Structure 1
């Protein structure tokens, strides 16, 4: 029996991988404009990092991590998300001492979670994320949201909804936490085991529960917005005013939460409103965290970031019917006839490629008609036809596959002349 790919993973084949490459280039260029620098961290880390950085009470840590022991008996985990690794690197390399503050970073890499595979959701997936460390200022919150929205906008997505909430500062969070405990405690036995465990540890996580989301107490749970102190209200209103100034539409959603203790102030999600996208509409999630760096052993450092799955982004693009320019087509396909022409084609092909031209030739010793068909299948814009007679006369015939016209050109000058044609200089 042939070995098959593990469940929840995928092969990204030629013809599909070009979408990924295009997205990566767009994202890289936007990050350059916003002055975010790329960071690359290990695919596996010490398990303790994610227990601290993601949280013991989260489904990710409790149910979804790929954890194993290495030969030295150390517990290691394939990274399920990127923020914890970025925070660890920030502390380990003392980036808080960099003269240029805040530190603005982005990553794009493989993540791993053991969860039920479905459309746009895999056990091995690619996550893009951005983090800003070292600044607590409403304008940077707005900038981070603008960065995420600009990526989606530039890729062509139109059916988007930004929802935003405030989790308040520590004082506001404590007041809200106490209110949630009082609200749920009398009937907590009606909730799932996970929620019962979360009541005292982290009651905010109860609001994220998928099993009990239709329970009547969920609808009447106290809103964090009711417990914001004046400083938190002022911060949130300033973030919203910046989004308005940047012409980024938003909806305030008091039920949007981030369950970890060190999350505070701004929390947001970007969703797809496209018809037929499915029940899970969230494309991107993010928020402010002001205790994570301290949790990693670093100094008190505010932070804010977001992350999204490239797979879900591609699914949203497909639902909206957005296609990409195919830049993988062949500029020039060499058709060679006869042994001498075949040998010459090997050198000519390399010369074209070194000149920056996408070029290909026949490798199967096919007849001229079959070579022309092969050239057509590659989407070649031009075909250069070379036979023994052409070599003797030091010429080559260039055929335009769109118009069908054919031109005889000097073989000695062909590479330089074709480069002018391909770049539109002629």
Structure 2
């Protein structure tokens, strides 16, 4: 597992963090024991991500609500994840902190998806007024309960009295729960929503479609409150979603917005950026080296490390330093040390460096395979697969078998050919185990 002490929070929230928020919003968190670990440590098992939608979302929703709604939510989350991973793989945020990236991600990525999800529900089933559901002064749960009262022909705030006419014992508890939900003092959990569904069916006998729609909207109302609270430090989320719902907003290229923001954030670090690019040029894998290059690039690396501490105290670009260190140690024939740096670089680049994370993972994987370090190779491969990266036909069908390492390890000398190594006297370059 990666050492969290040297792993700064990436600007893109990890998929585990996203699923943990969804689990909290839908009150299904207890359904999967891996989600907190994925949120803290990243993608240590790519197959877990494929199972999360089912175990964490669809199965609990299906048992407490209905299978059709569960599939609808699962399909929406799948689409969201696919587009999110595409964004992570494409757009580097290697000059931004999490706090700088989140407002843009919430406004231009999350809000449009929420708006689309709500509009699809609104078209498919009976619906409370979306303008009221997304109106900041109003509580989404109260809006949903008030809508049901209107649909049932009940006077405002009379649902509790009709469902629980005797204000004592369990009936008193039921009334009190509805009051707390309406006032925003407590959110209905998934089990309580299922119990309310049964009570409505028994006492008031609404039309099945209306009852189903109410239950689904109450789950969504609860989720809106939780997600809005999570985004409150960065964005007025419901206000932005309402703007999306009510306006004909043109498609916005979030990649362009994020890239521009990243470029602006990098401007004060010009000396650091130029130094890093020059070093990468000097440490090219295939370019012939001259006598003295090993010492010169070592001095330049040490200077780059000092610049990094001065211009990047948050360690945002540390992944690049570790990548350079890995390159240098490979070219110097110090492969075991190189692998340690490549591991760190891969940990730090994930959810941060856009297309570069693929290059780092590829080099790290090849080195781990060449050295026969199967545990390292396996962990790095999990991360590559979670990011939908593949290097061999059928690569995703198994994880880190001994046969696979044998097949891939010869590619290391293709990637790092002998002509690109330092020509100075160095330790033995290393032999395959």
TM category (shorter chain) comes to under 0.3
Task: Give 1 or 2 for the bigger CA radius of gyration.
Answer: 1
Structure with the higher helix share, 1 or 2:
2
More strand as a share of residues: 1
TM-score by length of 1: 0.28
Name which structure has the greater RCO, CA cutoff 8 Å, separation 6+: 2
Compute the TM-score of the two structures, normalised by the length of structure 2: 0.27
